[in-house]
A and B are shown apart, each in its own frame.
Chain A
Amino acid sequence: MSGKKKTLLKVIILGDSGVGKTSLMQRFVDDKFSQQYKATIGADFLRKDLTLDNNKQVTLQIWDTAGQERFQSLGVAFYRGADCCILCFDVTNEKSLNNLTSWKDEFLVQSNISNPQDFPFIIIGNKIDVDDSKKIPSLQKKLNNIVNQLAVNANGLTYPVFETSAKDAINVQAAFEVVAKMALQQEEINDANANDASDDYNDAINIHLESEQRGCC
């Protein structure tokens, strides 16, 4: 007989195009890095097994999504059932930092998370390997502001922040380990809630009501 069943944890990486989402995932899963930039289309995922501190074995299913806006309409499909969301920005790209709030809101809107204020997010600032001169001026201060903004309506939660380099493999492992723990916690909450709700479609729309609101079709 097989041993203990691993817990599958779904993690979504979001962020502007080019911040290094794919690189982060590949560094973590395959320990590889490619200099060549290739925009992600749609989404793809990789899996990695992890053993957490409490000897709990989990499988992270990490979804690397496209940062380009034209693919955002597909988000709802990918976000469903997520256990943790990584908000990724480029430490050299201030706009990507400022967009984190939008990404978070977008995720919460599309994913139909039942308790959005408790949902775990983690913030990763990638590309710390670049020269300081290229980094966002007063990064820490601005980052703190963004983190504070993100934490609004988050039940007093402060989202963990990691500064990483997928290129030089700095902090990537640590960040994903935290992701795994947070995701596991969320999964356990989901499981507990699942006992009460037997329906897999929490985002279903009553067609009668919809048609009534719209009038005759």
Chain B
Amino acid sequence: MPLDVIKEIPYPNSLRGILISLSMTSNYSNLAIVANRTNYDIIDIRQIRKIPLFQYSPLPLNRTKPFMIAYKAFDSGKEEYLLTVKSDESMSMAMIINSLGDVTRGTLSWVDVGYPTGGIVVKGAFVYGIFTNKERGTSKLVVSSLRDLIVISKENISDLFADQLAGTEDVKEEVQEEVQEEVHEEGHEEVHEEVHEEVHEEVQEEVNEEVHEEVHEEVHEEVQEEVQEEVQEEVQEEVQEEVQEEVQEEVQEEVQEEVHEEVRQEEPQQKEQRPLPIIKLGKSQCIMAPDDDVSQLLLKVNLKDDTTLVENPPLYMVTHNDVLTFYNDNSIWIMAEEDNLMEIQSQMQLFFDNNNNNNLEFILRVKNYMKSQAVSSNIYVYCLHIVFLSYLYLHNYDNAIQIALSTAEPSGELLISSSLVFYLCDIEPPGEENALTFKGIQTFLIRVKGAFQNEHFFKDYCRAGYKQLDYKASSVLRFPVYNSFHSSSEILAFIDEEDGHIWKDFEKYPQNMDIFNELQAKSYFLAVIYISELARKDPMLSTERRSFFELTIIRTSLDLMSTRCRDLSMESVIQDKKYSMNLTQKVLDILPELGDLKEYLNALLELIELSPPEGIEFIKKHNDPHKQTIHKHIMDVLALKKNHSFDFGAIRLEFLENSFLEDSGNRSLAYELLQELTKKISTDFDLEIIKNNFEIIRATFNLECSLEYTIWPKVGWIDYLIIQSGKSEISDFIIGYVKVFELLLITNSKEEEGPILDLSMFDYLTLVSNTKEPVSSKVAELLQINDFSTAEFYAIHGTFPSPLKPFYLKGDSWRKEPSPLLENVQFNLQQILQYYLKNLPDQHSSLEHTRHFVLTYGTQFFSPAEMLGMLPDYTPIAFVVSYIDKCIIGLNIKHEDTSIRKSLAKARLRQLQQLESVFKTSGDP
């Protein structure tokens, strides 16, 4: 694929550069560390700008080769960059920076070794550099510690590779023979890794650069440009020699001794005590990549004496996959660390075989070994597994959990897969991910699994993991955590401490619904309610799911209240007082939100049955029009039930009354209320007491409103009752009576049957309700019971007047004008006047009532002649003077009105005549 130049950035005298990792913050992902002849800089490729770092070479002409090594820090795991700086010919140093160009560590200094012209690599906490000394013709491998910023080892390359580099053709042949003999003698099993060492080295003067490109990760092509005059004295000779195992053993013993010392002291390693990494690397295996034929061709021969020129080719080093590779122009050496893992593996076998092994020495040894490994490397993770299994085997579960929850930085992923723990605990892991583990621990897994008895381990592991890890890593543990609970109270406590935020964000975590269903299935009802309440707080919750949780809260609460279901934690949770578990209140809180009317009806009905006062109070407070029908239905249902102690009749009446007051035009509601009230006043009182008191009131009324008293206006029976109610023992009854009266007026319709009022004290109400009786007849009856005001009203209006202080008949509409449709008003009134005249005890009284009648109805309903004709002969004219005055005024007004009309008519006629004559005279057609 062709490459295109998309951006050209001017950077004079540039020598080399490396891109800063793209894994960095996006702002800085287009950064490169570059070097020109003297300085290091950071180039921001996106914004085309330069961030100056520092000078690395004192003199531009020195042609110091800049090294920029990117690596992941052994301790922080973050990417760092080691930049070499040449101070003078004998001294150099390395600056360590991050992607922002900030120095993250102190300087690493190399005194008296010059500059690492042979290359430099960072491996773990160590920096390996090849320093060449042109004057002395030697090269040194200098190992420095990034941890302590000191040089911990300086080795001459020639010494390090003496066995490989030194020697002559003769030596080579001898060694080859020896090796072959040893191989035959010791057999193939022992040869193992040493097989590599049978490889022989060839001296080659030239190096194929393409080989380099394959080996290098870094751009090391420029290495070739550097001139290294140092050549290892004996490099050109081929050598094969087996590495002395004795030396190794000695080294290992030394290392182990020092490790033990460290463990004992449990102190940071002293700089002086740190083992030399180059020695610690142990066996150095020399793998040559010879091409004998080519080597022979490329050998330099002195033409004068025909001697072969011994050249010291420059030596370089690179690292790849934890292997240090040194090479010169014709050879490659790979220095691989002999891993102590194999030894640890065999020690582990012993550890497991020894059933009584309770000491932690082995674990400490493994841990110590892990310190030398990069965190998250395969070996480190493998060792972590070993430690974990060892702790488990020792039944040291706390430590095992701690190890099992080790995470990689910065990803936060578990280094020991939870699937492994699931496997060990014989629990089906959630999800279908492959449970991979190391082959090396497979046999131990089986043994640990067999010895695994602590049932709390898994529970503790899951809980600790869920608490400690971020959600991504711990989500797999969430289901098991909830599965591990044995009561709602445990779940509530856990949610409160750890998991509340997850439930409040219900929609975000798909696992939530599964866990919820599981808890519901396990009858952890209080937990179900609590979670439902938390889930409702999720603003992203769908309407459907919100309804689901509302219904769940209500149903579960009612189930618990009715003891249809039980939660064993109920008592402890209520005693705890930490959680509000007032189930009635929960239902009351959610009910208004419930959209499904059927569910609403059922829930409310059950709530009222289980907790009547709260239920009734709820209905009173939430009597909105949409729910009225439901509330009424509930009342109907409950009123029919007689097996409860609560007075649902009274409640229903109150409810009906409130409903009617809010919807006074609703005739059916009025009729229903009438029925209830009638029933109430007919049955709910002690009738004997009522009768007695009522008769007294009625007798008093008869007396006070008799015609013996000539004062007008007289109070009507209903208003009289209202007045009496305040001071009567039967005030409740009277109020009910008056309300029935009003409702009878409201429901006065032939379509509906009137209430059954068969007691004599209800005669008045029966009279009201009887719509078929003629007006005159009703008037007569009203006169009989001395309800004269009402009789007069009825005679004119054909209906009863509303009380002066009505309960239901608000407004003036009930104080009507005379009905224009009513016939025989004159007759009705005459009937009343005749009654007054007939039943009056004396003439004086007669005259007073006559005057009231004449003044009230004379002018409106009768002509003066009719009125005067109705009056008894003994009526003095003085009693009706005012009436006659009103009549005369009325006649005058009528006369004047007639005169005006006549005048106007005459004037109009004259105008018309004039107009006619005008038309005639004008002659127009």
Contacts and interface: CB of A to CB of B under 8 A. Distances in A.
Interface of A: 41-45, 70-71, 73-78, 80-81, 198, 200-201, 203-208, 210-211, 214, 217
Contact of A217 (B12, B50, B100, B149): B12
Contacts of B93: 41-42
Contact of B49 (A70, A73, A200, A205): A205
Interface string B89-126: 00101010100111100111101000000000000000
Given A42-B106, A203-B52, 18 more contacts: A41-B93, A41-B111, A42-B109, A43-B106, A71-B87, A74-B95, A77-B103, A81-B102, A200-B28, A200-B100, A201-B42, A201-B44, A201-B101, A205-B52, A207-B10, A207-B49, A211-B10, A211-B12
Contact of B52 (A41, A76, A208): A76
A73 B55 contact: yes
Contacts of A71: 87
Contact of A207 (B9, B87, B103): B9
Interface string B27-42: 1100000000000001
B87 A44 contact: no
Contact of A77 (B49, B53, B108, B109): B53
9 contacts: A42-B106, A74-B85, A78-B103, A80-B101, A201-B42, A207-B9, A207-B50, A214-B12, A217-B11
B88 interface: yes
Contact of A204 (B50, B54, B91): B50
Contact of A41 (B12, B43, B91): B91
A204 B44 contact: yes
Contacts of B102: 77, 80-81
Contacts of A43: 103, 106-107
Contact of B106 (A45, A207, A211, A214): A45
Q: Which of B42, B58, B101 has the most CB of A within 10 A?
A: B101
Contacts of A204: 44, 47, 49-51
A189 B103 CA distance: 22
A211 to B, nearest CB: 4
Contacts of B11: 207, 217
B106 A70 contact: no
Nearest to B103: A77
A68 to B, nearest CB: 9
A124 to B, nearest CB: 21
A32 B107 CA distance: 21
Nearest to A200: B100
A32 B901 CA distance: 132
Nearest to B14: A217
B905 interface: no
B48 interface: yes
Contacts of A80: 101-103
A41 B11 CA distance: 30
Contacts of A73: 54-55
Contacts of B106: 42-45
B95 A42 contact: yes
A198 B100 CA distance: 13
Contacts of A44: 106-107, 149
B58 A70 contact: yes
Nearest to A199: B27
Interface in B39-74: 42-44, 47-55, 58
Contacts of B10: 207-208, 210-211, 217
Nearest to B91: A41
Contacts, number: 86
A71 B12 CA distance: 24
B34 to A, nearest CB: 11
Given A44-B106, A77-B103, A80-B101, A206 B48 contact: yes
Nearest to B42: A201
A200 B27 CA distance: 10
A77 B101 contact: yes
Interface string B4-38: 00000111100000000000000110000000000
A203 B51 contact: yes
A82 to B, nearest CB: 11
Q: Which of B42, B53, B91, B106 has the most CB of A within 10 A?
A: B106
A46 B93 CA distance: 19
B48 A70 contact: no
Contacts of B49: 201, 204-207
A204 B52 CA distance: 7
Contacts of B48: 206-208
Interface string B740-763: 000000000000000000000000
A210 B44 CA distance: 14
Nearest to A209: B49
Contacts of B109: 41-42
A201 B103 contact: no
B107 A41 contact: yes
A40 to B, nearest CB: 9
A89 B108 CA distance: 25
Q: Which of A73, A208, A210, A217 has the most CB of B within 10 A?
A: A73
Contacts of B27: 198
4 interchain residue pairs of minimum CB distance = A42-B107, A44-B106, A41-B109, A217-B12
Nearest to B58: A70
Contacts of A207: 9-11, 43, 48-50
A197 B118 CA distance: 43
Given A41-B111, A44-B107, A70-B87, A77 B95 contact: yes
A130 B644 CA distance: 102
B54 A77 contact: yes
Contact of A74 (B42, B54, B100): B54
Contacts of B101: 77, 80, 201
Contacts of A74: 54-55, 85, 95, 107
Contacts of A205: 49-52
A41 to B, nearest CB: 4
Contacts of B111: 41
Contacts of A81: 102
Contacts of A76: 52-54
Contacts of B95: 42, 74, 77
B312 to A, nearest CB: 30
A202 B834 CA distance: 116
B54 A210 contact: no
Q: Which of B43, B44, B58, B111 has the most CB of A within 10 A?
A: B44
A217 to B, nearest CB: 4
Interface string B817-850: 0000000000000000000000000000000000
B545 to A, nearest CB: 31
A141 to B, nearest CB: 37
A42 B100 CA distance: 19
B9 to A, nearest CB: 6
B87 to A, nearest CB: 6
Nearest to B109: A41
A201 B54 contact: no
Q: Which of B43, B48, B54 has the most CB of A within 10 A?
A: B54
B107 A210 contact: no
A70 B89 CA distance: 13
Nearest to A70: B87
A160 B55 CA distance: 33
A83 to B, nearest CB: 13
Nearest to A44: B106
A77 B28 CA distance: 18
A156 B88 CA distance: 42
B79 to A, nearest CB: 16
A77 B111 CA distance: 21
B270 to A, nearest CB: 14
Contacts of B12: 211, 214, 217
Contact of A70 (B9, B52, B88): B88
Contacts of B85: 42, 74
A126 B85 CA distance: 31
Q: Which of A41, A44, A200, A214 has the most CB of B within 10 A?
A: A41
A78 B97 CA distance: 10
B46 to A, nearest CB: 12
